[in-house]
Amino acid sequence: LPTRPVDRDKAEAELSLNVKKATSPDETAPKQKHVRKCIVYTWDYHSSQSIWASLRVQPILGDEVQTFKALILVHKVLQEGHQIVLKEAQEQIGWFETCSRTVGGESARGYSTLIRAYVNFVLAKLRFHRHHPEFNGLFEYEEYISLKNIDNPDEGYETIVDLMELQDQIEQFQKLVFAHFRGSATNECRIASLVPLVKESYGIYKFLTSMLRAMHRRTDAMDALEPLRARYNHQHHNLRKFYYECANLKFLTSLINVPKLNHDPPNLFDSPDA
């Protein structure tokens, strides 16, 4: 299937090792090299089944750090893996729910609340993708447009509302992650979960900006768009604050560029090149 020079048997054997290492019990970020192998695998073979199978085989759920790392791994593979992963993940909802259920109320290292919130977020993301299969995992606008092959934002009102809903979920979850930082620790493992959240929220933000601008260009009923504008502006300020806090986390800025938003939200009545 892939045009790359690959060896399927070797890939399968390595994959389960990569899943195992990405979800090791050390309270660190999942190593990117292992996460990357999982992502590349889904593109090579247009499948994520072996990843889910490996996650079930590993004794992950007995340990809160391992469970949390598994969720980070899965989130990244959903974002950057082949489109099929978003579809196949719909059959794994039971596994996510088990993650939530297995962690007790009180846990030694304080991950249980985070795990339940992460599961809630990923399930919301999966619901979104089920209703809007034309989006990729990172909400990349260019790919959406090339897929749809048209630029017709009028049909987008409901999509925009759903996207804003998801953006609010990210906002809730990231706040919880910050609230669970521990003064003494490096918090590396918790910070690692912010990486995919920064990327996803920015993808959604850019998408919303483009869609809303296009709608403003086309419609005569500016009043009808007022609620969307208000909510967009509100989310802009939240995001700006989120990115500002992320920019102060040295570990995070060594991994990705954190976007910097202007103080004021962009004017949706302007065309982007104005």
Partner 1 sequence: MSSLQNMSKSAMRVGKNYIKGYTDVQVKVRDATSNDPWGPSGQQMNELAQLSYNQNDFIEIMEILDKRLNDKGKNWRHVFKSLTLLDYLLHAGSENCVIYFRDNIYVVKTLKEFQYVDEYGKDQGANVRQKAKDITNLLQDEARLREERRSRAHMRERMTGGSND
Q: How far apart are CA 251 and CA 258, in angstroms?
A: 12
Give the range of 29-37, 122-130, 168-176, 227-235 binding partner 1 by CB under 8 A: 29-37
Using CB under 8 A as the binding rule, whether residue 39 contacts partner 1 is answered as yes
Give the range of 25-33, 88-96, 105-113, 207-215 binding partner 1 by CB under 8 A: 25-33
Q: Which of 1, 28, 33, 134 binds partner 1 (CB under 8 A)?
A: 33
- What are the tokens at 260? 């910097």
Using CB under 8 A as the binding rule, whether residue 3 contacts partner 1 is answered as yes
Using CB under 8 A as the binding rule, whether residue 148 contacts partner 1 is answered as no
Using CB under 8 A as the binding rule, whether residue 255 contacts partner 1 is answered as yes
Q: Which of 16, 32, 50, 209 binds partner 1 (CB under 8 A)?
A: 32
Q: How far apart are CA 166 and CA 164, in angstroms?
A: 5
Q: How far apart are CA 69 and CA 61, in angstroms?
A: 11
Q: Which of 149, 184, 248, 254 binds partner 1 (CB under 8 A)?
A: 254
Q: Which is nearer to partner 1, 170 or 252 (CB)?
A: 252
Q: Return the residues of window 67-96 that contact partner 1 according to CB under 8 A.
A: 80, 82
- What are the tokens at 146? 């090339």
Beta carbon of residue 237, minimum distance to partner 1 (angstroms, whole number):
28
Beta carbon of residue 39, minimum distance to partner 1 (angstroms, whole number):
5
Residue-by-residue DSSP string for the chain: --SS---HHHHHHHHHHHHHHHT-SSSSPPPHHHHHHHHHHHHHHS--HHHHHHHHHS--TT-HHHHHHHHHHHHHHHHHS-THHHHHGGGGHHHHHHHHHHS-SS-TTS-HHHHHHHHHHHHHHHHHHHH-TTS-TT--HHHHHHHH-S--GGGGHHHHHHHHHHHHHHHHHHHHHHHT--SSS--HHHHHHHHHHHHHHHHHHHHHHHHHHHHHHH-S-GGGGHHHHHHHHHHHHHHHHHHHHHHT-HHHHTTSPPP---SSPPPTTS-TT-
Q: Which is nearer to partner 1, 34 or 240 (CB)?
A: 34
Q: Which is nearer to partner 1, 112 or 136 (CB)?
A: 136
Q: Give the count of residues interacting with partner 1 (CB under 8 A).
A: 18
Q: Which is nearer to partner 1, 43 or 178 (CB)?
A: 43
Q: Which is nearer to partner 1, 36 or 231 (CB)?
A: 36
Closest CA to 146 of 137, 136, 156: 136
Q: Which is nearer to partner 1, 33 or 218 (CB)?
A: 33
Contact flags string 188-227 toward partner 1, x per CB under 8 A: -------x--------------------------------
**By the criterion CB under 8 A, which residues form the site for partner 1?**
2-5, 31-33, 36, 39-40, 43, 80, 82, 142, 195, 254-256
